[in-house]
């Protein structure tokens, strides 16, 4: 009977270990991260810091050396858009609002709010890049020429946490709304529970996962998760 218990315990241990494909970790001065990749295509990501902690689960896919996080949560749509007839120094404008989410040390969201994006990157009608108003000391308002009729808007958001670190969001302006001249765009956050890291691409190189990048060539910076032996 004793030997049977030992055999069953060993079988259970092997089974549990078999479910985990690998564990990768990184530790900085004030923050540490651990990524567990399961063989069934799911992951656990743990982030621990002095000021916040969070644990998230999701799915992943491997394509060659590219690790795609939460591919089913990829989202390139804005949260909402406000159509306005407001003017800024006598000119129509576009401003971009980005969702900010604050976690506490118990893995709980304690605050969520929108804030203005400084120097927003916006292209209208597929090819026209808008510029920040020289009269705006906060660098938040993009000027829309009086004669311009906008058909679509594309917003590019810098996101270092994915290879080729730019996310693009596209919105088409419907016919009834084209009479509006000023717009406020409300962008989603890739850090909320619903679409966390949706479609983000990390690179697996040997025993290391690169997860932060500086440019379109996917040159790695900052956090590199190393496989635990």
- The pLDDT tens digits of the residues spanning 128-151 come to 999 999 999 999 999 998 888 888
- Per the structure, how many domains does the chain have? 2
Residues 157 and 84 in one domain: yes
Residues 66 and 91 in one domain: no
Residues 174 and 149 in one domain: yes
CATH number of 66's domain: 2.40.128.360
**Residue 133: domain span:** 80-187
pLDDT score of 8 = 41
Residues 25 and 92 in one domain: no
Give the number of other CB atoms < 10 A from CB of residue 106. Answer: 9
Residues 8 and 34 in one domain: yes
In degrees rounded to 5, what are phi and psi of residue 16? Answer: -65, -40
Please state, in angstroms and rounded to a whole number, the distance separating the CA atoms of residues 221 and 211.
8
Record the tokens describing residue 3, joined without a space: 């030997």
Cβ pair 197, 204 in contact under 8 A: no
- Nearest alpha-carbon partner for 95 in 148, 150, 143, 158: 143
Residues 174 and 202 in one domain: no
Mean pLDDT of the chain: 86
Work out the percent of the chain whose per-residue pLDDT is above 70: 89
Residues 34 and 16 in one domain: yes
Pairing of strands 53-63, 42-49: antiparallel
Residues 175 and 216 in one domain: no
pLDDT score of 179 = 65
pLDDT score of 178 = 59
Residues 202 and 219 in one domain: yes
Cβ pair 187, 98 in contact under 8 A: yes
Cβ pair 165, 172 in contact under 8 A: no
Residues 181 and 88 in one domain: yes
| DSSP 8-class letter at 64 | T
Query: What is the largest distance, in Å, between two alpha-carbon atoms of the chain?
Result: 87
Say what the pTM is: 0.79
Residue whose structure tokens are 């982030």: 47
Q: What is the dihedral of CA 192, 198, 200, 205, to 10 degrees?
A: 100
Average pLDDT over residues 91-98: 93
- Nearest alpha-carbon partner for 206 in 1, 42, 65, 36: 65
Cβ pair 156, 189 in contact under 8 A: no
Cβ pair 100, 112 in contact under 8 A: yes
74 vs 179, more confident? 74
Residue 212 pLDDT more than 80?
Answer: yes
Phi-psi region of 37 (alpha: psi -120 to 50; beta: other; left: phi over 0): beta
Residues 165 and 149 in one domain: yes
Indicate the range of 50-54, 85-89, 136-140, 208-212 predicted with least confidence.
Answer: 50-54
Residues 144 and 90 in one domain: yes
Average pLDDT over residues 113-125: 93
- Reported as a single tens digit per residue, the pLDDT across 155-177 is 999 899 999 999 999 998 876 56
């Amino acid at each position: 009977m004793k030997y049977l218990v030992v055999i069953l315990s060993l079988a259970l241990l092997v089974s549990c270990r078999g479910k985990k494909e690998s564990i990768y970790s990184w530790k900085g001065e004030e923050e540490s991260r651990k990524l567990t990749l399961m063989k069934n295509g799911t992951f656990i990501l743990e982030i621990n810091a002095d000021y916040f902690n969070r644990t998230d689960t999701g799915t992943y896919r491997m394509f060659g050396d590219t690790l795609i996080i939460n591919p089913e949560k990829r989202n390139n749509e804005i949260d909402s858009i406000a159509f306005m007839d407001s003017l800024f120094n006598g000119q129509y404008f576009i401003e971009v609002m980005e969702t900010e989410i604050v976690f506490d040390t118990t893995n709980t969201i304690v605050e969520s709010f929108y804030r203005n994006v400084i120097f927003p990157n916006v292209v209208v009608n597929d090819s026209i890049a808008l510029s920040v108003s020289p009269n705006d000391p906060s660098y938040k308002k993009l000027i829309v020429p009086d004669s311009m009729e906008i058909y679509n808007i594309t917003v590019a958001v810098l996101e270092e946490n994915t290879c080729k670190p730019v996310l693009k969001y596209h919105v088409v302006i419907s016919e009834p709304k084209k009479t509006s001249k000023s717009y406020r765009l409300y962008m989603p956050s890739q850090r909320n529970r619903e679409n966390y890291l949706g479609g983000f691409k990390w690179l697996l190189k040997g025993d290391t996962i690169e997860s932060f990048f500086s440019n379109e060539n996917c040159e790695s910076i900052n956090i590199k998760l190393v496989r635990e032996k």
